[in-house]
Structure 1
Amino acid sequence: MIPSYVQGRPTGKETGKYLALDLGGTNLRVCEVNLLGDSKVTIHQQKFVVSNELKTGEMRHLCDYIADCVDSFLTENGSDKLDNDLQLGFTFSFPVNQTAINRGTLMQWTKGFSCHGAVGKDVVIMLQDSFRRKNLNVNIAAIVNDTVGTLMANGYRDPKSHMGVILGTGTNAAYYETMDKIVKWDQGPTATKEMAVNMEWGAFDNERRVIRLTPYDNKLDRESINPRLQTYEKLISGMYLGEITRNVLVSLIDRTLLFNGLSSPDLNKQWAFETAYMSTIESDATKDLSDTQHVLESILGLPMTTLVDRQIVKKVCEFVGVRAARVSAAGLGAVLSHSNLVEEGCTIAIDGSVFEFYPNFADNMMAGLKELFGDQIENKVKFSLARDGSGLGAAVIAMMAHKAN
């Protein structure tokens, strides 16, 4: 549990023009977000490519490039003529030690970045220096975690939003906690009674005291780049579901229970069975499961499969997918119970490809909540697809930080 330094909630009534900056992969995204009140917004955005040279060069060069991109965006959108500083929310998708709403020290690089002169430094200060050198009237009001951003983005549109959840390649969650329960907060009294907390729930039960794991989970974990870490995430996220399924299928082959005991070089490769294949197979409504046959024979190179083979594969995909949804529901249920929202109800903002595209995932999560709290929970709790936590959410957080100061 990590304090986000984001205090209070948006109401949807706020107005103003704010910037959002999203750095975390191949592209850099710059957004101009116009909060119109009445929970309405307009967003203009532009993407810029971040080259490998910039990813592995000097941090100052990367910051200068980001400043140039922001300058170009503002000029093109006519926002460079404003006299007052534009407030910016910076979604920086790397591990940081955050010490204030607008202060964050880089702990380590991930995702192919390795810029020199950045680890152990405050990335906000370094980027703000580049803005000053370029004479940009831009103030970095907040450094933003994308999960907290998801909560805030939906919160502007729906004041009943209490949780923000990422269910995609990875998974995480954030929720509102009362200040008296945030034991890691050591900076004295605050202006509000609650703060958004970044749960980092992917690391739940790394000690393996709660979750019952299967041999297929243990195999995946041993062969991963981070064994004994992110235990909860490895049961839920899109990065891992396909590999769990592959482990089950290979085990069935070894016991001659599938494909007459014959595998293929492709299926034998780690990570070869993508989670996207599971979606295709679970959605296969053809009489002879021809879509499943295409995945197994044309993509994975298996010998001729029987209908029974394909039915078994579909059932395995369903088991793994349903478990992921139910384990996710357990996490949601824990927060609902802790926050005393089972009776009152709330909106849970969710972003990510697994939630959005995986067949029946949302329905299976709700089924899990019903088992925990009864059928009435469906009338109390609403799942809301909340895209763009790194854009709208970051801008909303910049607005809140600016008003707080």
Structure 2
Amino acid sequence: MSTSMLSPNSSYRIDGATPEQQALVDELASSFFVSDEKIASIIETFRQRMREGLQADGLELKMIPAFIPHRPTGRESGSFFAIDLGGTNLRILRVTLKGNSQVDIEPQKYTLSEEAKSGPLFDFVAEKIGAFLDERGLLPAKDDPPIPMGFTFSYPVNQTSLTAGTLMHWTKGITAPNCVGRDVVRLLHDSLLRRHIKVNIVAMLNDTVSTLLGSAYMHPGTQMGVIFGTGTNAAYYERLDQIPKFCAPLDDPAASEMILNIEWGGFDTRYSVLPATMHDIKLNRKSPNPFQQAYEKMISGLYLGEIVRNAALYMVDQRLLFNGRSSSILNEMWSIDTMYLTEAISDSSSDLSIVKDILEKTLGLDPTSLLDRRIFRAIAIMVGERASRLSSVGLVSTLLQRPELLEKHLIVGIDGSMYEFLPQFEERVYDTLRRFLSPDQFKNIRLILAKDCSSVGSAIAAMFYGSTRK
């Protein structure tokens, strides 16, 4: 492991800044900077929490069994159906596995309205499943058997079997009532039954589990499935003899390993080791799920814009940004979408015209100076850089959990808007992996964009279990 330190302030010299402005930018840069020594400490704690979660239920890292011991080969074939309920969208799909790791996907995407997020969410899902099948003439007749579907559910569930699990708590801004503590598959089945829609959920998967399965089909050699998007989490193949708490039977008695859903977004909720700033703590306190998902809130797309907003208002309050003036929009929580940060960081124009549009047209600020735009862009960069570095903690810790697999080439399938769109995210993740793995380990790792793999993974689960689970 390298012990060199990155400089917290070298990238944040602002042309034209007054000494007071530069001093406050330096303060922010220092607060968001994470040294190699700090990363090493976080990794050590993360690995300890993983070991604890393998021993017993109900701990900080849940290490939830997915009840799936199988690895796709890439040679599977046939057409199967999948439901994918994420943080912002519901997707219903017909997936055709063509063998040779090839796939055709027929998707239908439905945006989760605020009404759906805070209301009868499973009724919304059932309604859209019925519409999807009806539009394609696929609704089963009275005497037809139910259609088997895999169900990707991207929220923390205490899974007790392949088709049962209780919702622990909502994340990603969902607040639908009367769901926490209840079996989510039963909730969906009940909504389907009320609408006389003959669909059978044959497997429930976390989105990281389905990403892992889908990536393993399309890229044999995949060991981890990771989400860096609206939220964050990961799943990986763990040896059964390393999971003392697991004693339930699997459908394959000869299995030696199983997929585990880490639920790593909930790591270090009390900030015992994560480098939380005042801006993170303010976000956490005012979020819909205060004092939960601490790790997720420092690295995920749902939250980074709010961290930047808090930091920008901190400078506004000291009259060192935007002439000390805010706007009604900027004063609203969640008014800065992380997409705006991606656009601001990517703006290389001489007058930062993209940043200008974000600040003035989208956020309703008075005409801004080039200096204002430079400072805002610098804040976006430092928050994004910290997110990238901290995201690597979970990757390194999980890879080191099975060091024998690092002796040969392995793939980490990663999906999500942060990985796909945030500038330099992948490069910074690779750089941090290089610092905390040995050269022989690092050379064997390949990160890939596992786009749509979650949907493919649900279909594979429907293939594995659709003929045997009724």
Same fold (TM over 0.5): yes
Change (3 A) 1:204 1:75: same
Q: 1:355 Cα deviation (Å)? A: 1.2
Q: 1:170 Cα deviation (Å)? A: 1.0
Partner of 1:228: 291
1:282–1:359 Cα contact (<8 Å) kept: yes
Aligned residues: 401
Alpha-carbon distance in 1 for matches of 2:371, 2:121: 57
1:342–1:373 Cα contact (<8 Å) kept: no
Superposition pairs of residues 241-256 of structure 1, within 5 angstroms: 241-256=304-319
Q: 1:89 aligns with which of 150, 153, 157?
A: 150
2:83–2:92 Cα contact (<8 Å) kept: yes
Three-state SS of the structure 2 residue aligned to 1:210 is coil
Give the counterpart letter for 1:327 in structure 2. Answer: L
1:54–1:62 Cα contact (<8 Å) kept: no
Q: 1:53 Cα deviation (Å)? A: 8.9
Q: 2:217 aligns with which of 153, 156, 177?
A: 156
Superposition pairs of residues 385-396 of structure 1, within 5 angstroms: 385-396=449-460
Give the counterpart letter for 1:184 in structure 2. Answer: K
Q: 1:364 aligns with which of 415, 428, 436?
A: 428
Partner of 1:35: 97
Check if 1:203 corresponds to 2:266.
Answer: yes
Q: More deviation in 33-42 or 296-305? A: 296-305
Check if 1:45 corresponds to 2:138.
Answer: no
Three-state SS of the structure 2 residue aligned to 1:232 is helix
Change (3 A) 1:179 1:290: same
Three-state SS of the structure 2 residue aligned to 1:187 is coil
Residue by residue, what CA displacement relative to the aligned partner does 1:180-200 show, whole Å, maximum 9, x if unpaired? 112331215743111111111
1:97–1:106 Cα contact (<8 Å) kept: yes
1:149–1:393 Cα contact (<8 Å) kept: yes
Give the counterpart letter for 1:332 in structure 2. Answer: L
Three-state SS of the structure 1 residue aligned to 2:270 is coil
1:128–1:140 Cα contact (<8 Å) kept: no
Q: 1:359 Cα deviation (Å)? A: 1.4
Three-state SS of the structure 2 residue aligned to 1:7 is coil
Three-state SS of the structure 2 residue aligned to 1:90 is strand
Check if 1:311 corresponds to 2:374.
Answer: yes
Alpha-carbon distance in 1 for matches of 2:359, 2:70: 50
Alpha-carbon distance in 1 for matches of 2:289, 2:111: 29
1:128–1:139 Cα contact (<8 Å) kept: no
Superposition pairs of residues 130-279 of structure 1, within 5 angstroms: 136=198, 139-188=200-249, 190-279=253-342
Three-state SS of the structure 1 residue aligned to 2:331 is coil
Partner of 2:36: none
Q: 1:20 aligns with which of 79, 82, 86?
A: 82
Residue by residue, what CA displacement relative to the aligned partner does 1:102-125 show, whole Å, maximum 9, x if unpaired? 223456678354479x96356359
Give the counterpart letter for 1:319 in structure 2. Answer: M
Partner of 1:355: 419
Partner of 1:289: 352
Alpha-carbon distance in 1 for matches of 2:118, 2:243: 36
Three-state SS of the structure 2 residue aligned to 1:348 is strand
Partner of 1:127: 189
Gaps of 5+ in 1: none
Q: More deviation in 216-225 or 160-169? A: 216-225
Q: 1:400 Cα deviation (Å)? A: 2.7
Q: 1:377 Cα deviation (Å)? A: 6.0
Alpha-carbon distance in 2 for matches of 1:275, 1:133: 37
Three-state SS of the structure 2 residue aligned to 1:5 is coil
Q: 1:330 Cα deviation (Å)? A: 1.3
Three-state SS of the structure 1 residue aligned to 2:282 is helix
Alpha-carbon distance in 2 for matches of 1:398, 1:227: 36
Three-state SS of the structure 1 residue aligned to 2:385 is helix
Alpha-carbon distance in 1 for matches of 2:400, 2:386: 21
Three-state SS of the structure 1 residue aligned to 2:247 is coil
Alpha-carbon distance in 2 for matches of 1:338, 1:379: 17
CA RMSD of aligned residues (A): 3.5
2:92–2:129 Cα contact (<8 Å) kept: no
Change (3 A) 1:231 1:75: same
Three-state SS of the structure 1 residue aligned to 2:137 is helix
| TM-score (norm. length: structure 1) | 0.85
Q: 1:21 Cα deviation (Å)? A: 2.3
Alpha-carbon distance in 1 for matches of 2:247, 2:213: 23
Q: 1:209 Cα deviation (Å)? A: 1.8
Alpha-carbon distance in 2 for matches of 1:135, 1:232: 39
Alpha-carbon distance in 1 for matches of 2:116, 2:241: 46
Q: 1:264 Cα deviation (Å)? A: 3.0
Q: More deviation in 19-28 or 92-101? A: 19-28
Alpha-carbon distance in 1 for matches of 2:373, 2:346: 13
Q: More deviation in 64-73 or 30-39? A: 64-73
Give the counterpart letter for 1:391 in structure 2. Answer: S
Change (3 A) 1:276 1:350: same
Alpha-carbon distance in 2 for matches of 1:245, 1:144: 33
Residue by residue, what CA displacement relative to the aligned partner does 1:356-397 show, whole Å, maximum 9, x if unpaired? 111121112112212222666664222211122442110112
Residue by residue, what CA displacement relative to the aligned partner does 1:326-363 show, whole Å, maximum 9, x if unpaired? 00011101111121144434211111111111112111
2:117–2:175 Cα contact (<8 Å) kept: no
Alpha-carbon distance in 1 for matches of 2:445, 2:273: 26
Partner of 2:71: 9
1:164–1:349 Cα contact (<8 Å) kept: yes
Q: More deviation in 157-166 or 82-91? A: 82-91
Q: More deviation in 369-378 or 152-161? A: 369-378
Three-state SS of the structure 2 residue aligned to 1:281 is helix
| TM-score (norm. length: structure 2) | 0.74
1:67–1:134 Cα contact (<8 Å) kept: no
1:6–1:401 Cα contact (<8 Å) kept: no
Alpha-carbon distance in 1 for matches of 2:316, 2:111: 44
Residue by residue, what CA displacement relative to the aligned partner does 1:66-101 show, whole Å, maximum 9, x if unpaired? 674465256359x98998875421223455432211
